[in-house]
Amino acid sequence: MEQLKTIGRELAMGSQGGFGQSKEFLDLVKSIGEARSKAEEERIVLLEIETLKRRLSEPDIPKRKMKEYIIRLVYVEMLGHDGSFAYIHAVKMTHDDNLLLKRTGYLAVSLFLSDDHDLIILIVNTIQKDLRSDNYLVVCAALNAVCKLINDETVPAVLPQVVDLLAHPKEAVRKKAIMALHRFYQKSPSSVSHLVSNFRKRLCDNDPGVMGATLCSLFDLITIDANSFKDLVVSFVSILKQVAERRLPKAYDYHQLPAPFIQIRLLKILALLGSGDKQSSEQMYTVVGDIFRKCDSSSNIGNAVLYECICCVSSIYPNPKLLEQAAQVISRFLKSDSHNLKYMGIDALGRLIKISPEIAEQHQLAVIDCLEDPDDTLKRKTFELLYKMTKSSNVEVIVDRMIDYMISINDNHYKTYIASRCVELAEQFAPSNQWFILTMNKVFEHAGDLVNVKVAHNLMKLIAEGFGEDDDDADSQLRSSAVESYLRIIGEPKLPSVFLQVICWVLGEYGTADGKYSASYITGKLCDVAEAYSNDESVKAYAVTAIMKIYAFEISAGRNVDFLPECQSLVEELSASHSTDLQQRAYELQAVISLDAPAVESIMPPDASCEDIEIDKNLSFLNGYVQEALEKGAQPYIPENERSGVLDISNFGNQDHHEALTHSLKFEAYELPKPVMPSRVPPAAVASSTELVPVPEPSYARETRQPASLPSVSDAGSSELKLRLDGVQKKWGRPTYSSSASPSTNSSSSTSHKTTNGVTQVDSVGASNSKARDTYDSRRPQVEISPEKQKLASSLFGGPSKTEKRPSSANHKASKASTHTSEKSQAPKAAAVQAEVNREPAPDLLDLGDSTSSSSVPAIDPFKQLEGLLDQTDVASNVNHGTAGAAKTPDFMGLYADTPVSGLGSSVGDLLPTNRDEFNLTSELSNATRTAQGGVTQFNKGPNPKDALEKDSLVRQMGVTPTSPNPNLFRDLLG
Amino acid sequence: MIRSVMVINTQGKPRLAKFYEFQPVEKQQELIRSVYGVLSSRAENVSNFVDAESIFGADTRLVYKHFATLYFVFVFDSSENELAMLDLIQVFVETLDKCFKNVCELDVVLNYSKMHTVLDEIIFGGQVLETSSTEVMKAVEEISRLESASNAISLVPKSVSAWQSR
């Protein structure tokens, strides 16, 4: 049957005129098609090339035959074989007068030649002539070739002709001319910059096709410089309006949609022009809204336009109504069965959450479905989205997911990419040092060879410096946990080199610091590493240096050093190594361990990796020695640049001097992080002086770290790693919070609510968690969801409903400003409140509410107080502490102050360590809880719906379900 | 802009390859191979989009459509819309279908230069030129008519319309 068809076509081909091929070509195609192996195909093609070479060298080839040879050659080239021997024939063919041959010639050269090929010069003249041809097809063929073959050198040769063609009577030619001009602009902007006005002029072309072509060029121009095209906003809007209203000829309809490609282009342009420009954006609202309404969402292209609308809406100055429409479209995309639409939906969601973060929440299940979809493209897009919505409360889940995926793929390009994302997120949002180190371990373990070396250095620096806190306990804890995790990992086979370097360095520096592991144990491990990775010189270098450090610390601590036999053999092996670096290290090691304790201590002071090393570059202390040598008749030193031919040796000498004379042996680990140190140390120091309160109890490490460490990490980021610093919080905080929220205000995540002080909170948190889930369930009762998914959803998205709250950030601010003493007085208060809250049974909600209204002083707006809670508290507690008079206390604290527990609470508080962070947590918690309990009364007093909404989310955070999603309802009831 | 258009059959043989930015022959082969490697490993019923950055460099996307034994692949950058590109593939295929009446792989192979003619009427220098298959057909027919008219050697006058009614 297939054969019959072939024969039929073969017969038909005989009569195909222009497009017909000869039997030979047919045979070629057939035999290649039937080739069983790549080798066979290769053989056939090579044979064909031989034939073509022979034929082409024959004299007087008929033109028709020539054309066929060229086509065959194009085909052969497409299969990956070089056809350069015949390029000249293709060039010759462009000179032909026959249209068919000319077109074939142009096709061949535009496929064969690059724009800087030597033969181009032979074509330029022909192109010039053809661009002036009367036959528009010749002109079109030449324009086609122009796009591919002309480079910035040859642009001037054809530019005048192309510009003339902009006024050609045929619209097809005008269209191609404008596109060719656009191509010139892409290739060499300078040569056509004076012609930009032509693009504007052609926008008014009476043929919509030409106008559409102009949009491509304008889009590029506007991408580069939007400001100089602001005047066109009106025109673009009116064009878009006309297109959407079907004013174009029916011929431009595509799948019943009026000129969708033009609409897409225009929307892209408007997105650029309206970005950050309220005035321009306002002109667009109507037309974009119209398109949202009119666009048919059943066809593929209709969805393409809708997607473009969302992009536009998310780029221009936000308009609530449009955002709502966009959100509707997104939910339609995400609910669709088509993977394509889901993909677009995820992408669009990623754009929109920048503006209205809350919309992600309602799509959490769809997002999780996409994350678990077998489709890789969709999965990656979803990771992109998750990356954008990461914050400290969900970073663990997201990074875990990313790492799992990273482990599962083989694509090195994407692996590198996602590994760097993991590192970035971990550095930015790490909830604890422990977690950070474990995460980095995983990343290194599975993608160590792919991540930037800088990351390894940062990790070492982090372990060495701690988080810039004065708290040595936390630092040493961090170090010992790092050591422990590395000792666990070190036995695994085939670890990446970079990771091993980190491990060796850390083990050398801190392996014996906490006294948990003996020197011989650690050195044994290091010897194993050096042995197992004997091909990797840098690992060996790190290992042997680490061993030296361990012994040096032992010696300076006055302990006896028993040199392990495997160490001995390692050192012996290395001192005979081909690598001079390894040799040197080995000899240094031997030299160091033979010294006495004071000498060793001054060479290798323990835990001094962060100290700056002073280097006397002039080696002035050697002057005497030099003088002596000169007097003895030595040659004077000739500076390097005045010598020739002995450069290498002199370099060597120099280095040796340095090493011997700067009190320090050469250790890479000390040197590498140095370039970045200056930029990092100051912020860390500032952080520690202003923000730190020593934390005596290790269990608080997790909470206390955040305020201090995050600023320092992000500071470092701005200078070197290009972290996303701006808008991090904005994305997820409500827009109104974004300015005040700092990256450290993440303490509202439920996990950090664990036992923060003497009073147990676990129960209430647990309860609120489960209630939160209830809320969520009740909103979507009909959907059957597996518990795992739910859990994932709540860990990923639980955040949005528990977003950083203003009060908590106010807490931070206020407490930063407040003195230690005022903190002292606050802590008991908070504790008191908390105690009270815990004691109060839930059914008393309304009673409590009543007491709120009665006890708070009406002259002061309670919401103001809530916002600036701590400022108020400062005042209140400073003034009223001790008296605890209910009537005088101007804030909600007063509510509880007159209860009998208050005394008890404050006495409890006095016993507690005064820790600010602790206080933040407790006060925030109690604050939130109070809101939840007193919610009913507060709502009716809230004059501002926005405040009410904030309250609402706060209430949700605490897991108390308001009877209605709309908190304003309470106003009706009670106000 | 559109970077490249490829038609690859399900065995990985290129049937049409057009790069709007010059690529040397070896590089073209490599690209085609890697694209085929990605496409052939993709399951049915997944999205038509593929992340192409590992193959074509930063800011590139790839949209493909699978018809019978052929993959139609468009590679482009962020200035184009994925769904719209998917429709452009549709336009291309529809036009080919109109040209060849139930287009199959063999048509694509045998009418190599015509494929290019059609494609050049849809995409010009990396930009979308025309999206109506009727318009493209008109242009292509016009070209074949004039070509055969100017082609003095051609003794067979029937040309396109003749074999179309076949």
Choose the most confident range, by mean pLDDT, from A771-780, A915-924, B62-71.
B62-71
Mutation target vs A (from B127, B133, B145; most A CBs, 10 A cutoff): B127
Choose the most confident range, by mean pLDDT, from A381-385, A636-640, A777-781.
A381-385
pLDDT band for position A816 (cuts 50, 70, 90): very low
Task: Identify all chain B residues contacting A264, using CB atoms and an 8 Å cutoff.
Answer: 81, 84
What is the per-residue pLDDT for A970?
A: 38
The mean per-residue pLDDT over the stretch A568-592 comes to 87
Q: What is the C-alpha separation between A530 and A524, in angstroms, rounded?
A: 10
- At residue A324, the 3 state secondary structure works out as helix
Q: What is the C-alpha separation between B55 and B142, in angstroms, rounded?
A: 38
| pLDDT exceeds 60 at position A721 | no
Mutation target vs B (from A40, A162, A261, A346; most B CBs, 10 A cutoff): A261
Does A252 lie at the interface with B, CB-CB under 8 angstroms? yes
CA A651 to chain centre: 42
Question: Encoding tokens for residue A432?
Answer: 């604890």
What is the per-residue pLDDT for A412?
A: 84
* Strand boundaries in A504-582, DSSP class E: none
The overall average pLDDT reported for chain A is 72
What is the per-residue pLDDT for A309?
A: 94
Ordered domains of chain A (ranges, CATH): 239-389 (1.25.10.10), 806-974 (no CATH)
Question: What range defines the domain where residue B115 resides?
Answer: 2-164
Specify the CATH number for the domain of residue B59.
Answer: 3.30.450.60
Q: What is the C-alpha separation between A100 and B114, in angstroms, rounded?
A: 11
Q: Do A209 and B139 touch (CB under 8 A)?
A: no
- Name the packing angle between helices B133-150 and B112-122 (round to 10°): 130
In this predicted model, what pLDDT tens digit does every residue of B93-133 receive, in sequence order?
999 999 888 888 888 888 888 899 999 999 998 999 888 88
More confident residue, A943 or A370: A370
Residue A67 contacts residue A51 (beta carbons within 8 Å)? no
| pLDDT exceeds 70 at position A131 | yes
In this predicted model, what pLDDT tens digit does every residue of A508-562 receive, in sequence order?
888 887 778 888 888 888 888 888 888 888 888 999 888 888 888 888 887 777 7
What is the per-residue pLDDT for A469?
A: 58
In this predicted model, what pLDDT tens digit does every residue of A180-235 receive, in sequence order?
999 999 888 888 888 888 888 888 888 888 998 899 989 999 998 889 899 999 99
The mean per-residue pLDDT over the stretch A806-825 comes to 42
Choose the most confident range, by mean pLDDT, from A256-260, A683-687, A934-938.
A256-260
In this predicted model, what pLDDT tens digit does every residue of A248-267 receive, in sequence order?
888 888 888 889 999 999 99
| pLDDT exceeds 90 at position A2 | no
Of the listed ranges A284-293, A424-433, A447-456, B44-53, the least confidently predicted one is A447-456
Measured between CA atoms, how close is B7 to chain A, in angstroms?
A: 11
Q: What is the C-alpha separation between A946 and B114, in angstroms, rounded?
A: 64
Q: What is the C-alpha separation between A381 and A347, in angstroms, rounded?
A: 7
Q: What is the pTM of this model?
A: 0.65
Looking from the CA of A738 toward its CB, the CA atoms found within 13 Å total 15
Residue B116 contacts residue A19 (beta carbons within 8 Å)? no
Q: What is the C-alpha separation between A262 and A244, in angstroms, rounded?
A: 10
pLDDT band for position A108 (cuts 50, 70, 90): very high
The mean per-residue pLDDT over the stretch B61-82 comes to 92
Q: What is the C-alpha separation between A497 and B113, in angstroms, rounded?
A: 53
Q: What is the C-alpha separation between B55 and A124, in angstroms, rounded?
A: 33
pLDDT band for position A948 (cuts 50, 70, 90): low
What is the per-residue pLDDT for B162?
A: 46
Q: What is the C-alpha separation between A833 and A923, in angstroms, rounded?
A: 8
What is the per-residue pLDDT for A360?
A: 81
Q: How many CB pairs under 8 A join A and B?
A: 210
Mutation target vs A (from B9, B49, B161; most A CBs, 10 A cutoff): B49
What is the per-residue pLDDT for A26?
A: 80
Residue A125 contacts residue A90 (beta carbons within 8 Å)? no
Q: Position A516: which residue type?
A: K
Q: What is the C-alpha separation between A206 and A217, in angstroms, rounded?
A: 17
What is the per-residue pLDDT for A920?
A: 47
Domain count along chain B:
1
Q: B residues 17-56 near A, CB within 8 Å?
A: 17-18, 20, 22, 24-26, 28-29, 42-43, 45-51, 53-54
In this predicted model, what pLDDT tens digit does every residue of A833-871 receive, in sequence order?
444 444 444 444 444 434 444 444 444 444 554 444 444
pLDDT band for position B4 (cuts 50, 70, 90): very high
Q: What is the DSSP letter of A717?
A: I
The mean per-residue pLDDT over the stretch A785-812 comes to 56
What is the per-residue pLDDT for A662?
A: 45
Residue A758 contacts residue A922 (beta carbons within 8 Å)? no
Q: What is the C-alpha separation between A813 and A556, in angstroms, rounded?
A: 46
What is the per-residue pLDDT for A836?
A: 46
Question: Encoding tokens for residue A27?
Answer: 């045979």
Q: What is the C-alpha separation between B17 and A889, in angstroms, rounded?
A: 79
Choose the most confident range, by mean pLDDT, from A621-635, A716-730, A827-841.
A621-635
Instruction: For residue A827, give every residue at least 6 positions away whose Cβ sits within 8 Å of its Cβ, in sequence order, or none.
Output: A909, A912, A914, A915, A918, A919, A922
Does A256 lie at the interface with B, CB-CB under 8 angstroms? no
| pLDDT exceeds 90 at position A316 | yes
| pLDDT exceeds 60 at position A927 | no
